[in-house]
Amino acid sequence: EELYRIQGWGDPYFSINAAGHITVSPKGDRGGSLDLLELVEALKQRNLSLPILIRFSDILEDRLERLNACFAKAIARYRYSGEYRGVFPVKCNQQRHLVEALVRFGKPHRFGLEAGSKPELMIALATLDTPGALLICNGYKDQEYIETAMLSQRLGQTPIIVLEQLEEVDLVIAASQRLNIKPILGVRAKLSARGMGRWGGSAGDRAKFGLTVLEILTTVERLKAANMLDCLQLLHFHIGSQISAISTLKDALREAAQIYVELAKLGAKMGYLDVGGGLGVDYDGSKTNFHASKNYSIQNYANDVVAEIKEACDASSVALPTLVSESGRAIASHQSVLVFDVLSTSNVPSGPPEPASEADHLIVRNLYETYTAINPRNYQEAYHDAVQFKEEATSLFSFGYLGLRERAKAERLFWACCERILAIVRHEDYVPDDLEDLEKIMASIYYVNLSVFQSAPDSWAIGQLFPILPIHRLNEEPTCRGTLADLTCDSDGKIEQFIDLRDVKSVLELHPLRPNEPYYLGMFLNGAYQEIMGNLHNLFGDTNAVHIHLTPKGYQVEHVVKGDTMNEVLGYVQYDAEDLIEQLRRRSERALQDQKITLQESQMLLQNYERSLSRYTYLA
Ligand code: PLP
């Protein structure tokens, strides 16, 4: 458990059972659990191949409940006389079953949705049917976007159009006059306080989004002139996703609360303060301000939001706003697990080498001597010698002075030296710089049945860390160290960074493969952003996905969303399956005429081809 830090990031949903398998407790502390390995085996029997994305709707519900419960507790604790009405940012995971489930789970809390684009607005408008829930309209807007949002008021929606650009102010005023509808408006403030780390660019004076204080004032004046200042009711900010340090949030809250107070004083009918997203996820379980972690709980977060805003408003005798947050990552990350299989491994040679003899080339004898002399006092020097001898052996080979067999012997001895040195290094407190890469050099490569570009794009694009570990054999010591290489023909298609306490490690502890026995790995906490940002590199398509719901009798597969077939991915790049088959058929007819293929062979080829087209893009 320690090795993979599962308690830190997995609690209360993921743990390890006596059989050494991952246990999933989708309802958190509220009971009920299932064995992930057994689930995967059962899904395979339903003809679903790996990689497979398993979504646990109960986890989603639990996350939503937790967030609301924390705000309720904070509101009670600080005797806040307003309420909390959160929204889910659809951008975080737009999958229909997920959004529909969220709306359903959110009903008791009047939980709403946030749209960041026109297509997301389409989803939100049709899906959200909770009376009183907010529909926050963010993102760049044109006339159509604004009109659609305003008209939805007539359907009983509560759309709040958040102005992010000065141009939008004029569009909104014109639309309001044209449609004779009084919209609820918000402004997105460009705060000086900003998040840190990978997503920190969402705030700051030159951020892409939001209005500066000067622009906010201009907005107020223009609305006033149009007799619409009472429409302005919400202040929004978002300082970036995955806020790791709570102090950053506090700074932003203070700044925003002051802007809120000022807007109220200017005559706007302020009623909502929307603190955006950013509530972090503890991917490495370290509970620190490391970028893959966060140094606060949801309760701390809710407490700070409530307390800071109350303090600022009370100090200026401004009525307390309804609090809105747009937490995406914190709601959607935990609910999905990607399970994939290891296809094969590539290992560096290990074990004691054959001794060198008098008949061997000097360089081979030197390497053997280096190997036998390695000890905890000289290992660093021995490493330098081994590297040098190996380089010399390669040069000698290139100049024709060393045969292939001798070169192979030299390389074998080099790996033997590294193995011995690594065994010493692992026990040292301090590792010299030049030996830091040794672990990585000696690591096995585990070839996995997945595309990093499709299933973990943030791992490739911004080095985001996700917990990855075997879902079984966890009561067996993982004696190998490996990195993961995916199916794509791209050297970036790999994972070489794994969670460690407040750090990253370059290798993952794994088990040796056993003949004829599958080895399954799970990538956890990847339910936010990864699916939609995944791309079709090498035409590996969407993976199979299932929705699992816990029942008193066990579990139920609520939905099966089949992954892309080859037909489908080829369609995305404008190939038509029928045309492709026809082209191949014609070719095989020509080859038949030229007697280059037999009729039987050509039939086999065509059948394989046709069958493949309707199959999954991953390896069977
Ligand atoms: N709101 C806005 C405006 C965003 O841009 C984002 C995403 O970065 C979010 C909410 C969701 O953020 P998070 O997933 O960190 O909660």
**Residue spans per domain, the chain:** 78-332, 362-439, 577-613
Check pocket membership of 274 for ligand 1, CB cut-off 6 A. no
pLDDT value of residue 206: 67
Q: Is the CB of 333 under 6 A from ligand 1?
A: no
Q: Is the CB of 329 under 6 A from ligand 1?
A: yes
pLDDT in tens, 89-120: 999 999 999 999 999 999 999 999 999 999 99
For residue 432, name the pLDDT band (cuts at 50, 70, 90).
Answer: confident
Structural domain 78-332, CATH architecture: Alpha-Beta Barrel (3.20)
Instruction: Please state the residue numbers annotated as binding site for substrate.
Output: 273-283
Q: Hey, which of 161, 329, 331 would you mutate to test ligand 1's pocket, going by the most ligand atoms within 8 Å of its Cβ?
A: 329
Residue 478 has pLDDT above 70, yes or no: yes
Output the pLDDT for position 600: 97
Question: Listing from the earlier edge strand, what are the strands of the sheet with 87-89?
Answer: 87-89, 112-115, 134-137, 158-163, 184-188, 232-236, 272-274, 322-324
Check whether 167 has a pLDDT greater than 70: yes
CA 117/CA 145 separation, integer angstroms: 8
Q: For residue 188, which atom of ligand 1 is closest to its CA?
A: 3
ipTM score: 0.99
Ligand 1 binding pocket mutation candidate from 248, 305, 326 (most atoms within 8 A of CB): 326
8 Å CB contact between 245 and 232: no
Tokens of 396: 């000698």
Q: What is the chain's length?
A: 620
Pocket lining: 210 vs ligand 1, CB cutoff 6 Å: no
CA dist., res. 252 & res. 189, Å (int): 10
Q: Which pLDDT score is estimated for 241?
A: 94
Residue 483 has pLDDT above 70, yes or no: yes
Pocket probe for ligand 1: among 92, 194, 283, the residue whose CB has the most ligand atoms within 8 Å is: 92
CB 277 near ligand 1, within 6 Å: yes
CA 194 from chain centre, in angstroms, equals: 22
Q: Are 146 and 175 in contact (CB under 8 A)?
A: yes
What pLDDT score was predicted for residue 542? 97
Read off the pLDDT of each residue in 299-314 and give the average, rounded to a whole number: 98
Return the ligand 1 atom nearest residue 240 CA. 8
Distance between Cα 90 and ligand 1 center (Å): 9
Whether omega for the bond prior to residue 51 falls within 30 degrees of 0, making it cis, is yes
Q: How much distance in Å is there from the Cα of 485 to the middle of ligand 1?
A: 30
Residue 599 CA to ligand 1 center (angstroms) comes to 59
138 CB within 6 A, ligand 1: yes
Q: What's the DSSP call for residue 456? A: -
CB 540 within 8 A of CB 453: yes
Indicate if ligand 1 lies below 6 Å from the C-beta of 327: yes
Q: Specify the pLDDT at position 197.
A: 64
Q: Is the pLDDT of residue 587 over 90?
A: yes
Q: How far is the CA of 331 from the centre of ligand 1 (A)?
A: 11
Asked if residue 326 has its Cβ within 6 Å of ligand 1, the reply is yes
Percent residues over pLDDT 90 in the chain: 93
Identify whether the C-beta of residue 15 lies closer than 8 Å to the C-beta of residue 6.
yes
- Please give the share of the chain, as a percent, with pLDDT higher than 70: 98
Q: Is the pTM of this model over 0.90?
A: yes
Residue type, 395: S
Residue 170 in tokens = 């004029």
Which amino acid residue places its CA nearest to atom 8 of ligand 1? 241
φ/ψ of residue 145, rounded to 5:
-55, -50
* Architecture of domain 362-439 in this structure: Up-down Bundle (1.20)
Confidence of residue 196 (pLDDT cuts 50, 70, 90): low
Ligand 1 atom 9: residue of nearest CA: 277
Q: What is the pLDDT of residue 195?
A: 62
Q: How far is CA 433 from CA 380, 415, 423, 436, 568, in A?
A: 10, 19, 16, 5, 49
**Any atom of ligand 1 within 6 Å of the Cβ of 541:** no
Band of residue 194 on the pLDDT scale cut at 50, 70, 90: low
Look over the chain and give the mean of its residue pLDDT values, rounded to a whole number: 95
At which residue do the structure tokens 């909770």 appear?
Answer: 130
Question: pLDDT at position 429, please?
Answer: 87
Ligand 1 centre and the CA of 230: distance in Å?
A: 27
pLDDT range class, residue 199, cuts 50, 70, 90: low
* pLDDT at residue 1 tops 70: no
**Residue 430: pLDDT band with limits 50, 70, 90:** confident
Task: Locate the ligand 1 atom nearest the alpha carbon of residue 199 and give its number.
Answer: 8
- 383, amino acid identity: Y
Model confidence band, residue 203 (pLDDT cutoffs 50, 70, 90): low
